[in-house]
Amino acid sequence: MTAAAIDALQDAVRAAASGGGRLRIRGSGSKDFYGGALEGDVLDTRALRGIVAYAPTELVVTARAGTQLAEIEDELARHGQMLAFEPPRHGPGATLGGVVACGFSGPRRAAAGAVRDFVLGVRIVDGTGEALAFGGQVIKNVAGFDVSRLMAGALGTLGVLTEISLKCVPLPRVERTRAIDCDAADAIRRCNEWGGRPLPISATCHVAGRLWVRLSGAGPAVSAAAVEIGGADADDAAPWRAIRDQTHPFFAPAVTGPVPLWRLSVRSTAPCDDLGCDTLVEWGGALRWLVPRAPVEASRLRAWAAAHGGHATLYRAQDKSPGVFQPLAPAMAGLHERLKRTFDPHGILNHGRLYPAF
């Protein structure tokens, strides 16, 4: 059945290649809101379903791209393991392929790494319709260019992901969340200072005058750290899942309303300047979610993010005319366009989803 699904997918790509058509890769559609234009006929990946291989003692899981994240994470949890990058779902049907293609990582990212850090291998169908495999199912592998990690965050513009191998890690023995009331500047300062100490901090979030800190690890280490960082134990309202999937009230004006949501990825020590927005800070200061209180110039946010070592993404918006992603320098843009031509010479796959030019 899977072989047939891949054949059908290759046929669709080849037909588009010969007929001048375009294809829009889609799993559950939970991330349709993300990125640039949605162009072309829908290429549904949900027939590519199921965990292909999982050996807990090898710390590697391989699953087809259309497999639901929930299914994979449940199976890992049954064996005491997890996906360390805490993939955001943004919807109940979210698939593995979608989260890898979007390059999304959740609250644990600053401590554990991003989705690209855990991708070990991929199978794809590229824009010529050829089925290709890169990387593998082992943790250390430097044979050939690292095309697997290149696929993470490429938004499907270089190929249709059909199968992905990921490194998984043991679940922490203990998790505990502390809450500390302080302002954002104080929270960012504290998080950076803690970052220099060997503390088992697995996530941080500052919103509405409160800093939440999640500790994960061996029981004694978590207890000692809880004392060291201070604050009080949080109740069941600890916000991690709500932040991961943007169901937290902070995101409501953008998720259910017309207000844009900006994602600013910056140096963790970047200051807490007033940009005319409500702000939620994650990743020890390195990730700032901004909901404008009044219309704000995209160029202003982009300039601020660049001045602080990073970039700004228009994560959710009804009007995407300012461009979703930070523009690339000319030499980088040239590399992107040439890479695109290597994997998708006819410009079929997810055209315009990453940058308008391709």
Binding residues for another protein restricted to 30-49, rule: CB under 8 A: none
Q: Is the Cβ of residue 46 or residue 149 nearer to another protein in the bound state?
A: 149
The answer to the question of residue 185 lying near another protein (CB under 8 A) is: no
The answer to the question of residue 249 lying near another protein (CB under 8 A) is: no
The answer to the question of residue 29 lying near another protein (CB under 8 A) is: no
The answer to the question of residue 110 lying near another protein (CB under 8 A) is: yes
Q: Is the Cβ of residue 91 or residue 136 nearer to another protein in the bound state?
A: 136
Q: Is the Cβ of residue 2 or residue 128 nearer to another protein in the bound state?
A: 128
Stretch near another protein under the rule CB under 8 A, chosen from 9-17, 55-63, 68-76, 87-95: 55-63
Q: Mapped to the 3 state alphabet, what secondary structure does the chain carry?
A: CHHHHHHHHHHHHHHHHHHCCCEEEECCCCCCCCCCCCCCEEEECCCCCCEEEEEHHHCEEEEECCCEHHHHHHHHHHCCEECCCCCCCCCCCCEHHHHHHHCCCCCCHHHHCCHHHHEEEEEEECCCCCEEEEECCCCCCCCCCCHHHHHCCCCCCCCEEEEEEEECEECCCEEEEEEEECCHHHHHHHHHHHHCCCCCEEEEEEECCEEEEEEEECHHHHHHHHHHHCCEECCCCCCHHHHHCCCCHHHHHHHCCCCCEEEEECCCCCCCCCCCEEEEEEHHHCEEEEEECCCCCHHHHHHHHHHCCCEEEEEECCCCCCCCCCCCCHHHHHHHHHHHHHHCCCCCECCCCCCCCC
Least CB distance to another protein at residue 82 (A):
11
Segment 70-89, which members bind another protein (CB under 8 A)? 80
Q: Is the Cβ of residue 12 or residue 201 nearer to another protein in the bound state?
A: 201
Stretch near another protein under the rule CB under 8 A, chosen from 17-25, 58-66, 93-101, 272-280: 58-66
Residue choice 52, 59, 272, 317 for contact with another protein (CB under 8 A): 59
Q: Is the Cβ of residue 44 or residue 266 nearer to another protein in the bound state?
A: 266
Q: Is the Cβ of residue 181 or residue 193 nearer to another protein in the bound state?
A: 193
Segment 203-222, which members bind another protein (CB under 8 A)? 217-221
Residue choice 8, 138, 232, 252 for contact with another protein (CB under 8 A): 138
The answer to the question of residue 142 lying near another protein (CB under 8 A) is: yes
The answer to the question of residue 149 lying near another protein (CB under 8 A) is: yes
Length of the chain: 358
Q: Is the Cβ of residue 139 or residue 208 nearer to another protein in the bound state?
A: 139
Residues 6+ apart with CB under 8 A from 103: 114, 115, 116, 152, 153, 154, 155
Segment 276-335, which members bind another protein (CB under 8 A)? 283, 286-287, 305, 308-311, 313, 325-326, 328-329, 331-332, 335
The answer to the question of residue 227 lying near another protein (CB under 8 A) is: no
